[in-house]
Amino acid sequence: MKESKNIRELNLKELEEYFENMNEKKFRAKQVYEWLWQKQAMSFGDMTNLSKELRQKLGSEFTLPALQIDTTQHSEDGTLKSRFRTWDGHLVEGVLIPTASRQTACVSSQIGCSLSCKFCATGYIERKRNLHFDEIYDEVVLINQQSEKTLGKKLSNIVFMGMGEPLLNYKNVLRSIDRITSVDGLAMSPKRITVSTAGVAKGIRQLGDDRVKFKLALSLHAANDAKRHEIMPINDTNNIQSLIDALNHFYKQTKSEITFEYILFKNFNDSFKDADELIKIYRQVPADLVNIIEYNPIEFARFEKPDEEKVEAFINYLSKNRVNARLRRSRGKDIDAACGQLANKDNH
């Protein structure tokens, strides 16, 4: 018996060829393609304008390994965290973050993560595998359905800030964004999508060469190599200077917006000296913004969150030095859905 192929691997032209070989009308391919990408069919049975025989034939020749929602948790602040189950039984998390002006989906790109950043819960679980492009697409589809159901509004933004390092799953991430932004997909503007990286210089350069249209966020979190190395092992092979060079290359090629992400840790990177080093980096890159992020404690990390006055003083110091900085308040902390907390835990 030959192994069935995932039907979403086929582009429209390949589907047309398949139907022609079956002596079926060519327009059937378009119908199936619409079901897969625009109408978000999760099974062949959903494709109601095809004959039962044709649906059965497709089901016998192809697979449609759609993502399923395993559990959903509701935070007091309106944030929804969903745990998705893949066709091969892995679990991965995604979050719907509603604010007054936007509905953001935070999606994962890998099952687990290989980067072991010391402050992030996902970094403490091993990477099982990359998510496939259609699985990432399904995350967005399912979170969008939640948004429409609970808020009566479609998603306005997507951030690749969930589990995993997007640039270590480069092809699938770009292919998923292609489907999300395509007119025969979800037709979202790439300007509403942000891909966040822990700093894979080669990947950042590649994004520039590929002339991507989405925004880029760099998780900096420490403004000198010694400190960054201590909390983010990836800095060994991707030091700050290499990231500055890569970001400049990215901007030159794409003119897309760049943001720095900087989590404040008590007595580690929250002094004015740290702020000065951050300002120096900010001035070497055409960055739009520095997002100062509240640290969300996790059980196995030794970090703490600085007090409010310290955070305010840090941000005011940056602003005085003409750095566009803002505090990003954490959402969904009570259900471990906040930045750095995704770890597939069973909290029922």
Q: Are 64 and 7 in contact (CB under 8 A)?
A: yes
pLDDT value at residue 15:
94
User: Out of 93, 139, 165, 261, which one is annotated catalytic?
Assistant: 93
* Catalytic residue list contains 339: yes
Tens digits of per-residue pLDDT, 290-328?
A: 999 988 777 777 889 999 999 999 999 999 999 999 998
Q: What are phi and psi of 121, to 5 degrees?
A: -60, -40
Q: What is the mean pLDDT of the segment spanning 55-76?
A: 93
Q: Which CATH number, 3.40.50.300, 1.10.287.610, 1.10.150.530, 1.10.8.350, labels domain 5-63? A: 1.10.150.530
**Residue 209 clears pLDDT 90, i.e. is over it:** yes
Confidence (pLDDT) at 339? 67
Query: What per-residue confidence (pLDDT) applies to 260?
Result: 97
Contact 116, 96 (CB under 8 A): no
| pLDDT, tens digit (0-9, with 9 covering 90-100), for 80-131 | 999 999 999 999 999 999 998 999 999 999 998 889 888 888 878 888 999 9
pLDDT-above-70 percentage for the chain: 95
Judge whether 120 counts as a catalytic residue: no
Averaged pLDDT for residues 274-286: 97
DSSP symbols for 72-99: EEE-TTS-EEEEEE-TTS-EEEEEEEE-
Beta bridge partners of 63: 6
Catalytic residue among 106, 117, 120, 339: 339
Name the strand (E) or helix (H) holding 326: strand 325-328
Q: Which residues pair with residue 130 across a beta bridge?
A: 110
Residue spans per domain, the chain: 5-63, 68-335
Give the residue from 327, 261, 340, 332 showing the smallest Cα distance to 296: 340
Range in 41-45, 142-146, 225-229, 344-348 with the lowest mean pLDDT: 344-348
pLDDT value of residue 348:
37
Given a cut of 80, is residue 1 above it in pLDDT?
no
Among all chains, which residue has been given the structure tokens 């990359």? 130
> What CATH number does the domain located at 68-335 have?
3.20.20.70
The pLDDT assigned to 342 comes to 60
pLDDT > 90 in the chain, percent: 81
Is 63's pLDDT higher than 80? Answer: yes
pLDDT in tens, 5-16: 999 999 999 999
